[in-house]
Amino acid sequence: MMSTGLKRGLMGALFASLLTLGACALAVQAQTNFPNRAIRVVSQFAAGSVSDLTLRMLGDRIGQRLKTQVVVENMPTGGGLLAARTVKTSPADGHTLVLLSNATAVTAAMFKNPGFDPLVDFTPISGMSDFAYILLVNNQSKFKSLQDFVATAKAQPGKLNVGTSAPGTTPYLTALLLKKAAGIDFVVVPFRGANDLSVALLRNDIDLVINAYGAVRPNLEDKQLRAIATTTRSRSPFLPDVPTAHESAIPNFEVSSWNGIYAPAKTPEAVVARLAQDMQSALAEPELTKLFLERGVEVWPAKAQDLAARMRSEIARWNKVIDDAGISRE
């Protein structure tokens, strides 16, 4: 006769097995039924921007693999607040995704309560793109290198000025990081848009600009502006002859702009895995790599764990920059 303890043990093992089988069945069902309608990707960037165009290219290829339509919806509000808040509360079934970026990390550091936590409210799927910022001067400038600029700024503290995009953006905070890392002082002058920045530099209203390659490419090709450094650790493929800030004058200085695809938290693992597989496959296509490069960005097919680590480290970095600069959080 079977003892009561043995019966309970067998029943417990059977129950655990049934739970496991049920979970596996749900995962398989989720993967089998996904997608069952169009996939919506919410972007914090404006239609027609480089991030928007590259996202649409990737979306087309994902749609082909999943045999469904991928629709990009633009919500270009400051810091991506609306885009993130919208997707945070969307159904966690893989049919609504969001493009988050280094701007999201800046927003998480800048605001006391942005209405979302990028480390908790979203599940990372795959990185998408990455690019350096460029330090630029007027082609007639006396500064031939970043070393020249740093030396002058040290000799004349507060006399030089650096143009960036609006306060609270990555280029703006990059300028503050540059001051701290190089031990120099200059005036940071924020502008509304990339065109305004370039015009001000062409007029010699400012001494140096921090901007993305895609925004200044025509001026570089026309030799109206000159790049004196890039902000990534390795040299930019677009400007291989231009040294990095790290190798020029500021050891370990490194900043880049990146984008990645996320789903709402608690999206089924099987769905996330399917999306990640198709995104990684699409980003490995030589044709897509070429199209990204033509628009001034590099493919960045980061795995989910690397994307999560990047977001975490960026939030910590910009928190420190904001604290060091004494910027009050909104």
DSSP string, 187-231: EEEE-SSHHHHHHHHHTTSSSEEEEEHHHHHHHHHTTSEEEEEES
* pLDDT tens profile 225-251: 999 999 999 999 999 999 999 998 899
Give the CA angle between residues 309, 272, 303 to the nearest 5°: 35
- CATH topology classification for 37-130+256-325: D-Maltodextrin-Binding Protein; domain 2 (3.40.190)
Render pLDDT for 15-25 as a digit per residue (tens, 0 to 9): 444 444 444 44
pLDDT at 6 over 90: no
Mean pLDDT of the chain: 90
One-letter amino acid at 114 equals: P
Residue 146 in this model has a pLDDT that exceeds 70: yes
Phi and psi of 284, rounded to 5°?
-85, -5
For the chain, the farthest-separated pair of C-alpha atoms sits apart, in whole angstroms, at 97
28 CA to centre of own chain? 32
pLDDT level of residue 3 (50, 70, 90 thresholds) = low
pLDDT-derived band of residue 215, with 50, 70 and 90 as boundaries? confident
Examine the pLDDT at 32 and tell me if it is beyond 80: no
* Domain locations in the chain as residue ranges: 37-130+256-325, 132-248
CATH number of 132-248, picked from 3.40.190.10, 3.30.450.80, 3.40.50.300, 3.40.1190.20: 3.40.190.10
What mean pLDDT comes out for the span 145-169? 95
Is the pLDDT at 29 greater than 60? The verdict is: no
Element (H, E) at 250: none
* Mean pLDDT to the nearest integer, 39-61: 96
Predicted pLDDT at 256: 92
**What pLDDT shows up at residue 26?**
45
Residue 329: what pLDDT?
84
Identical fold between 37-130+256-325 and 132-248? yes
For residue 328, is pLDDT > 50?
yes
Looking at the predicted structure, is the pLDDT value of residue 74 above 50?
yes
Q: Range with the lowest mean pLDDT among 137-141, 165-169, 260-264?
A: 165-169
Provide mean pLDDT across the span 175-180. 96
Three-point CA angle 33, 37, 43, nearest 5°? 120
Confidence check: pLDDT of 324 > 60: yes
Confidence (pTM): 0.86
> Lowest-confidence range among 28-42, 53-67, 117-131, 253-267?
28-42
Question: What would the 3-class secondary structure string for 73-113 be?
Answer: EECCCHHHHHHHHHHHCCCCCCCEEEEEEHHHHHHHHHCCC
